[in-house]
Structure 1
């Protein structure tokens, strides 16, 4: 009994020590703000998005979704893959804040202009009419405001998640209010395209405001002799050498961003070209709900990431591999159970949310919902790739998925319509998440662990050291 009491006291002491640790409290608070914002965003976006879809109907909603997907194919040129790199550099040396943020800001502005120029050429290779192209360019103009996302990078580097949450929640609230007002006032489709631009504008204003607020808070904590130092609200410094250095690091990420966007959005673009706008509306409605009902799983994987990385550091191979199998098994079976449940209620769920105008979305949804299992298995696999220094293989596997997705869409959309696009998504996700693990000797071991995890007894396991 004394031994048990002693261990209990030690455990309580460790827990108290952890909870009162400054670093833990800082990162826990940061994560809590971001998670709360994620839950709020998912709920509001789902509610307003469904309302917009019901108001517009399949054809107009399809045109709006197509325009957004078409623009998304080129947004990698606007972001330039800078986000993670700038965060990394800010963490290394905050004294370069204005130089890094200002350079990244102007690079993103240039990238946004490049997107508009590329789109001006790209639309000539589509069957779009003038009205559809107008929607495309209205939505594309919102990429200019993405330049202000450099402030988000600063918040990430300084672990100021509350400001990210505040800015995003403000933009979401005002943007959603505008969309509701448009519905109630029977606004035309182009007004909803302009609402996308308004979302970007409000988010930019929010970032600028909270950036200034954070700097004022920081200044108030500084020594009195530098409290009067000037802080620019919008960092506009541009340094050519810094720009070259950032782009040198980011170009692989630009390519990766392009591939990912093709992988994620090409299906809706191809459906529009092959079947028309109404088919895109039916498909987009199904996909949005399919992704929305799984919103907690990315949060789960991100929260599991540190424990996953620690598992790979364990010297005992048996324990390490056991934990990896548990990670895979947990994600796979939780996703499978949830997918089956959603599949069972899919008819009622789609009709309840969208109404009978979107009844064709039901069969698409029933297929697409199972792609989420593979997407999240792929997410766990990405952790393994990154931990072992195989990030370059992540790009190649995504590239394979994008190419396969295009080929399958060409074949299956012609034969099966929109359900064919959903099947193409599932098959391409399966290739990326599972098949690619066995195509390289470097990753085959991880593939074997995944296969073994499928037969691993599923139960609630408390990780213990042997």
Structure 2
């Protein structure tokens, strides 16, 4: 999984930066605006099922086909529901017909994300190398097409179309990987009782996923409305260098989820010791990345994107520190998932989103794209350090966060702030 993501980072730096240079800030900004707008509704199609299905497959492996089939059809229905809601949402924007076309092309790829249920199976079996191979295949196809488009002087439309091709090629490769396991088909399996149970457990995560996506993309949409497409392009260049690191906590958290579930079954003491170590690992990886990227931000932006994107330097220096809270939040969410406190995840994400939107409205008109970066960082810090103070059951997470900042004693087994 790390190997696949490293290749994705390299492709992002080589091909993605080349695309940004080729399109220029204006066209690159329009492209990223379309991606951001479509992404807002992509979480609806997921229905919050991702972690729920992995958890249930670990706990009840005998119901493999029932869970996979039920999740597949739920996600497919969710995709078409998302497209209908998206069609209504575009009526309330100032987008022209071309921009809306780009949004719908990108959003239609969500239909093929129903095949992510194959990924859930491999995660539950700790066999993610198969998924990584599929994603590497998709990445190679996508990168080669983008290089061809640049060399032939293609219009922005064709780069937008590649986003749809990415989803189709990944869906095909995932299905072929599942067939390779010779486990039999799951398309004919749908259990209404399981569907109700899964939706009951997952709807808070769906709201949380929607809040997260709005949290990460609303700044680009608000910048587009207030400052224009060029500003979105410059801001997106910096944000991409920030978000490229977010695969690290996802991989670590997803890989350790089965281990944490088993530790919970074995006994709470060892379970919380593992959580403490996970939190500390996440936070210090994020701090290390932030320090290096802050120091090299000027050189990185000018080397990769060129003089046209020089205003992205300060945005990168601010936004990279948001990773500390993102890394910690990823581990924190796994704990709440195991404890079946999914509603609490939604509570924190929605409140963090609220602060982010309010701060964007205040800071973007005053400080431009730098204000958007500051707003995101402040909102994230509030959501992970201040809000837990008001909820008794969540104070343990805050204590573990603070405990993890101690570089000397963070891995000591007796240094765990947990009381029954």
TM-score, normalization: structure 2? Answer: 0.87
User: Which residues in structure 2 correspond to 1:158-177 (within 5 Å)?
Assistant: 158-177=125-144
Q: Distance in 2 between matches of 1:384 and 1:242?
A: 23
Alignment partner, residue 295 of structure 2: 344
Structural RMSD (CA): 3.1
Residue matched to 2:212: 260
Q: CA deviation at 1:377?
A: 3.2
Q: Which residue of 2 aligns with 1:276?
A: 228
**Could you say which residue in structure 1 is the equivalent of 2:418?**
none
Establish whether residue 378 from structure 1 lines up as the match of residue 329 from structure 2: yes
Q: What is the match of residue 150 of structure 1?
A: 117
The CA distance in 1 between the partners of 2:125 and 2:283, in whole Å, is 34
State the secondary structure of the residue aligned to 1:74: helix
Alignment of 1:269-348 (within 5 A): 269-293=221-245, 295-296=247-248, 298-299=250-251, 331-348=282-299
Deviation at 1:404, TM superposition (A): 0.6
Residue 155 of structure 1 contacts residue 161 of structure 1 at CA under 8 Å; is this kept in 2?
yes
Measure how far apart 1:378 and its partner are. Answer: 3.0
The answer to whether the Cα contact below 8 Å between 1:77 and 1:111 also exists between their aligned partners in 2 is yes
1:112 corresponds to:
79
Report the equivalent of 2:202: 250
Q: Which range is displaced more, 291-300 or 181-190?
A: 291-300
SS in 2 for 1:159: coil
Q: Distance in 2 between matches of 1:249 and 1:447?
A: 25
1:44 paired residue among 8, 11, 17? 11
Q: Greater CA radius of gyration, 1 or 2?
A: 1
Q: Contact (CA 8 Å) 2:276, 2:404: kept in 1 or not?
A: yes
**Residue 301 of structure 2 aligns to a residue in which SS?**
helix
Within the candidate set 57, 63, 66, 2:24 is matched to: 57
Deviations 1:280-315 (A, max 9, x none): 111111000122256545545666775899699676
Q: Deviations over 1:202-241 (max 9, x none)?
A: 01110121111111xx6xxxxxxxxxxxx34x62444444
* Residue 256 to residue 183, structure 1, CA distance change in 2 (3 Å): same
The alpha-carbon deviation at position 392 of structure 1 amounts to 3.1
Stretches of structure 2 lacking an aligned partner (at least 5 in a row): 416-420
Matched residue, 1:355 = 306
Q: Judge conservation of contact 2:38–2:103 (CA < 8 Å) in 1.
A: yes
Comparing 74-83 and 445-454, the one that deviates more: 445-454
**Contact 2:40/2:213 (CA < 8 Å) preserved in 1?**
yes
- Superposed displacement of residue 38, structure 1: 2.3
2:158 corresponds in structure 1 to 191
1:52-73, CA deviations, whole angstroms, 9 ceiling, x for partnerless residues? Answer: 1111111111111111111111
Q: Is the 8 A contact 1:105 1:150 kept in 2?
A: yes
Distance in 1 between residues matched to 2:355 and 2:73, nearest whole Å: 36
1:241-269 residue CA offsets vs partner (Å, 9 max, x unmatched): 44334323322222222112112211111
SS in structure 2 at match of 1:122: helix
Q: Among 427, 444, 458, which residue is 2:378 paired with?
A: 427
Name the CA distance, whole Å, in 2 between partners of 1:154 and 1:450. Answer: 31
Checking the alignment, whether the CA contact within 8 Å between 2:34 and 2:99 is kept in structure 1 is yes
Counterpart secondary structure, 1:235: coil
Q: Please report how far the alpha carbon of residue 131 of structure 1 lies from its aligned counterpart in structure 2 after TM superposition.
A: 0.9
In structure 2, the partner of 1:204 is: 171
1:66 and 2:17 matched: no
SS of the residue corresponding to residue 41 of structure 2 reads coil
